[in-house]
Structure 1
Amino acid sequence: MAGDNYEHQINESTPLVGTSRPRENSVASMLARGRSNTINGLKTGYDTVKRHKVQFMYALMGSIVLYLGFTLAFLPRTSLSRDFRRLHFSKFTRAETYRVYLESLQRENHAKEHLRAYTSHRHLTGDDSALHYTVENLKALGFSPKLEKYYPWLNYPVETGMSLWIDEEKVFESSMMEDFLDEDPSSSGPDPVPAFHGYSANGEVTARFVYCNYGKLEDYEYLHSQGVDLDGKIHIIRYDTMFRGLKVKNAEANGASAVILYTDTFDDGNVTEANGYKAYPFGPARNPSGFQRGSVEYFTESPGDPTTPGYASKSPNTKRISPLGRLPAIPSIPMSQRDIGQILPHLNHRGCAFNVQGNVDGFKYYSGPSDENVKVTVLNNQDYQIKEITDVLVEIPGILGGSSIVIGNHRDSWTVGGAGDPNSGSSIMLEIARGLSELLEKGWKPLRTIQLASWDGEEPAMLGSTEYGENHASRLQKQVLAYFNLDTAISGSKFQCEANPLLSELLLKSAALTRFAGGPGKSLLDVWQAQSNGHIGILGSGTDFAVFQNHLGIASANFKFTGNGEDDAVYQYHTNYDSYTWMERFVDPEYHLHNTMAIFTGMSALMLSESEVVHFKSQDYAHEIQYHFNKWHAMLNHTFKGNEYVREKANSLSRLIAHIEDDVSPRFDHATAILRKLVVRDYPWYQIYKKIGIYAKLIATNSKLKKLDRLFLTDTGLKDRPWMKHSIFGPDKHLGYIGDVLPGLHEAILAKNVQETLEWLHVLNKQLTLVQELLKT
């Protein structure tokens, strides 16, 4: 029984052939077999891989090598130039950069709306209207302008005046303001600025007066030789190209109790009423009621805040010193030709006559002094205060760190207008910003950093730029390659360029790429060569490049269209008539010159920015030095003809300069030209070592070119002008605005000072020896 039951159980639980399997037994069996097969498969695969491990690794490595070989075989040849841009995800070529910039400015021109906006409100130093307009327009272009504040000490007009007294009776009093013209809205608008001088001493003086011509040293020497009594008199001096502050300084040194500076239209050249031209607003001649405002601080010797010489006035509480010696101690005022005509005829046939004549009605150009009963009162009441000023700065970071180009101009003006000075340049700078903004929108990144600067306070003493330069001196000397200035950019039809010779070749090439005045087929270079044979002048001082070139040794340039002295309208400089009406009627009706200058300046910056090798030429610099040294050398030989030691030292320096110009600098420039070609030459990947070598040469060459101008800085500066540090370029000591080359040596020879001449020969020999070592290839 038991056996039967067991057998029965087995038979019930074991399926027979041909019968259906229970569901649960089928699933369990399938899972068991699947698991067994998987494990067995993995064991088999692992055993197979293990048995063929070496063969598998060889096959994998072979595939990788084959892939890399195929990839490398078809890698494109590249240049170091393109590598810079690819590494920074920039697809712009140099040519594409130029094309986009040119097209953006040739397609549109907003200079007119900018100029009208700038000249619609009074904008003395520290005023807000021009500041807000500049900032808002830069923001609208996508920039984030930085505002940098300084706190200089300066003056604002309260009351100025001039009165004529005869027998103690007042017979004339000047209005100290131009005529309001219905034809010129700016000249007759609200909030006009009376005629005054920046940094003039307060005071009221009544005294006899004397005419001192241009107030130059030779004028005073002539007056002394003729026995003219100058002491205690009010000196009347006419404006010209000499800086007005030095005129007042000369007058004070020659006994003046006060100074009146007036404009004589005789010095305007051909376009005068005396020659049949009508006066503004009906013609191109000067309006005789115009007063030339301006500063009399000695800023061609030491610009910036006179209470913080050599350091920045960074706060209202900055430590200050007395300004004595940096500005006049006697009052001065400007005067129109018309009003001075009420005074000067009283000097006729008194004292000595000057050979230079003029256009003041009824005046025979005698010195005087006036009769005992004929006197003039000069009133000058100025409010001196510490004033907040604001620089506006924009920076476009470059791919290559450590180098930058700065484009700058000031926006403050003496009057409501200021169309030519400074706001033609301010309008142009906003146009440059628009062109750069369009490049940025398309994905461009400059190779070198480009900075835009709108300075405040240039008119009183280059305050904004000087305080900025003194505040950031070390960084600027390490980073900035060049500074381009746009002060008084448009006031006539003649192109004028003053620049450090390192920039000469760059500027000529940029002019060749600039279409002139919107017309086809004529470049700015064509016009420049026709007007002056492409002449590049010497930088002096009197505007915002001074701190860069004269103090920090940064190669600078100053661009402008100025009057041609023949048939251009006379520039109504620093008067109420420097207005958009004058600009549009007589100078640039369609704003084509503004557009030309915006293209040229921007292209110059881009050419310097986008060239891997700094676009400087050392031989042009060496040539300028030798040309002027030869002149001073001949003067030295004549002045010190009996001193063989001085002559020997000068001859030694002459040989060194000639060697640099004839041998050292040409070799360096030739090597630089070769390097410029190597940087853009394509190489296959396996010659990467060549690009590394080129890169090393590039770094070394650019470092030398950046350092070159700094080698001419001196610790002590020029004699009596320690702020002016550059030994090659500086303002003429006695004229101010115009430039002098090798000024220290030149002044020592003129003074016939043996010791100072030897000192400057030693300084120049030491500096030029360093230049020779620097440029050796």
Structure 2
Amino acid sequence: MTKLTFFTFIVLATSISFIFLETPPKSFYHTLFISDSFSDNSSIANHLYTLTKRPHVAGSQANADAAAYVLSIFTSCNIPSHLTSYDVALTYPVSRSLTLKSSEKTIKFGLFQEIYDGDPYAEVANEVLPTFHAYARSGTATGPVVYANYGRVEDYATLREMGVNVSNTVVLARYGKIYRGDIVHNAHAVGAIGVLIFTDKKDYGGEKWFPDDKWMPPSGVQVGSVYDGIGDPTTPGWPSTGECERLSDEEVDEGGNVPLIPSLPISWADGDAIIRTIGGKVANVDWQGGKDSPIYRVGPGPAIANLSYEGQQVISTIQNVIAVIEGEEEPDRYASLTFNFS
């Protein structure tokens, strides 16, 4: 058993409520962390359920409630803890749309996630925000679709070798391998005007899906940020508090960490429908989909996609839960463990 030789400084942005640390035998924290009331499967499951039973997007009251819950768990265990609030720039969706026009028909995508029989979260489905990418660029992109596999730099090199020009196209890429923000950045770097990122059944699907299994259902959408920086884009390197100095929109753009073309996350079902309209050369074997998928081709087109997204940036208050566990030796040293649950 090793000794905790310094302060462990734990910062949680409305975060998880359990930490696993090795501490001296017979210490209070050692006893706490191995106790059934704190870290057995049932207590962990209860904490997870409490924190996920309703949506709690950053800046919302539900998010503040999640922070308060984490704080209450820490303080009930006699861990010195407190809340610290920050006023940060966050984005929320105002409107979004996606249509695909071919010589045969026009598809207007609903962009919604279905409620399935047995869904334990059905009663709070109306609290879920429309699917979007945080910090996505507002705008409209209209052009033929190019399939770019995972949207990596090497994937665009493969497209060049195949003679595919990505300029002025809408890229369709699948989640996986790299961060979604890099998918958008890479597409912009090769001249694309918009990006659709879908959850491919090959990577996230199965014969059964939620709520009967762990896999993403056909209409399920992976959401998240496409910001490539750390913290608040308007306050890089300093705390977002009160009337602090903030970068202008132009300065944020010049920083190179926010996307410069619009993007939308879409489901496997919607991605599959788009894949079926793409012509051109057949994609490589490792670019293909899973069982029962159509043949994946790279395009461009011939169908034309029209992607539109409008977001709103606001300054909202978020809470960090900060807990300090003092080590037995060298208590003036700190180790920082951070977790996010927003």
TM-score by length of 1: 0.37
Equivalent position of 1:287 in the other structure: 217
Counterparts of 1:179 and 1:358 in 2: how far apart (Å)?
23
Counterparts of 1:249 and 1:157 in 2: how far apart (Å)?
20
Counterparts of 1:332 and 1:107 in 2: how far apart (Å)?
41
Matched, 1:199 2:128: no
Of the three residues 309, 315, 323, the one matched with 2:236 is 309
Q: Over residues 569-621 of structure 1, what are the superposed CA-to-partner deviations in whole Å (9 max), with x where a residue is unaligned?
A: xxxxxxxxxxxxxxxxxxxxxxxxxxxxxxxxxxxxxxxxxxxxxxxxxxxxx
CA positional deviation for 1:409: 1.7
Q: Using CA pairs below 8 Å that are at least 6 residues apart, which structure has the higher relative contact order?
A: 2
Equivalent position of 2:185 in the other structure: 249
CA positional deviation for 1:177: 2.2
Q: Aligned-pair RMSD on alpha carbons?
A: 2.7
Matched, 1:140 2:69: no
- 1:430-469 pair list within 5 angstroms: none
Matched, 1:267 2:203: yes
SS across alignment from 2:85: strand
Matched, 1:184 2:119: yes
CA positional deviation for 1:226: 2.2
- 1:111-126 pair list within 5 angstroms: 111-126=44-59
- 1:286-435 pair list within 5 angstroms: 286-299=216-229, 303-321=230-248, 322-324=251-253, 325-348=256-279, 350-356=280-286, 357-359=288-290, 363-371=294-302, 374-398=303-327, 400-412=330-342
CA positional deviation for 1:282: 3.0
Which amino acid counterpart does residue 25 of structure 2 have in structure 1? A
1:234–1:259 contact (8 Å) kept in structure 2:
yes
CA positional deviation for 1:354: 2.3
CA positional deviation for 1:401: 3.6
CA positional deviation for 1:228: 1.3
* Cα distance, 1:106–1:143 mapped onto 2, change above 3 Å: closer
Q: Over residues 253-302 of structure 1, what are the superposed CA-to-partner deviations in whole Å (9 max), with x where a residue is unaligned?
A: 1111100011112235xxx54xxx32333344431211111111113xxx
Q: Which has the larger radius of gyration?
A: 1
Q: Over residues 151-178 of structure 1, what are the superposed CA-to-partner deviations in whole Å (9 max), with x where a residue is unaligned?
A: 2222112222222223596x32222222
Counterparts of 2:119 and 2:203 in 1: how far apart (Å)?
24
- 1:60-209 pair list within 5 angstroms: 94-97=24-27, 100-101=31-32, 104-105=35-36, 109=40, 110-127=43-60, 128-143=64-79, 145-167=81-103, 171-189=106-124, 190-209=126-145
* Cα distance, 1:118–1:106 mapped onto 2, change above 3 Å: closer
SS across alignment from 1:365: coil
CA positional deviation for 1:331: 0.4
CA positional deviation for 1:187: 4.6
CA positional deviation for 1:220: 0.9
Matched, 1:214 2:150: yes
Equivalent position of 1:233 in the other structure: 169
* Cα distance, 1:164–1:152 mapped onto 2, change above 3 Å: same
* Cα distance, 1:211–1:294 mapped onto 2, change above 3 Å: same
CA positional deviation for 1:102: 5.8
* Cα distance, 1:368–1:188 mapped onto 2, change above 3 Å: farther
Q: Which runs of 5+ in 2 are unaligned?
A: 4-22
1:180–1:188 contact (8 Å) kept in structure 2:
no
Counterparts of 2:90 and 2:34 in 1: how far apart (Å)?
43
Q: Over residues 307-360 of structure 1, what are the superposed CA-to-partner deviations in whole Å (9 max), with x where a residue is unaligned?
A: 222222233432324211111110001111111122111113x14532321138
Number of residues paired by the alignment? 308
SS across alignment from 2:47: helix
1:341–1:360 contact (8 Å) kept in structure 2:
no
Which amino acid counterpart does residue 123 of structure 1 have in structure 2? H
Q: Over residues 452-492 of structure 1, what are the superposed CA-to-partner deviations in whole Å (9 max), with x where a residue is unaligned?
A: xxxxxxxxxxxxxxxxxxxxxxxxxxxxxxxxxxxxxxxxx
1:289–1:337 contact (8 Å) kept in structure 2:
yes
2:33–2:39 contact (8 Å) kept in structure 1:
no
CA positional deviation for 1:129: 2.1
- 1:746-761 pair list within 5 angstroms: none
SS across alignment from 1:152: strand
Counterparts of 1:155 and 1:340 in 2: how far apart (Å)?
25
Counterparts of 1:148 and 1:102 in 2: how far apart (Å)?
24
2:80–2:325 contact (8 Å) kept in structure 1:
no
SS across alignment from 2:45: helix
Identity %: 29
* Cα distance, 1:376–1:329 mapped onto 2, change above 3 Å: same
* Cα distance, 1:101–1:265 mapped onto 2, change above 3 Å: same
1:345–1:362 contact (8 Å) kept in structure 2:
no
Which amino acid counterpart does residue 341 of structure 1 have in structure 2? D
Which amino acid counterpart does residue 133 of structure 1 have in structure 2? Y
1:149–1:389 contact (8 Å) kept in structure 2:
yes
Counterparts of 1:223 and 1:196 in 2: how far apart (Å)?
27
Which amino acid counterpart does residue 280 of structure 1 have in structure 2? F
* Cα distance, 1:226–1:401 mapped onto 2, change above 3 Å: closer
Counterparts of 1:265 and 1:199 in 2: how far apart (Å)?
26
Structure with higher strand content: 2
Counterparts of 1:139 and 1:337 in 2: how far apart (Å)?
43
TM-score by length of 2: 0.81
* Cα distance, 1:187–1:257 mapped onto 2, change above 3 Å: farther
* Cα distance, 1:177–1:403 mapped onto 2, change above 3 Å: same
1:214–1:238 contact (8 Å) kept in structure 2:
yes
Equivalent position of 2:17 in the other structure: none
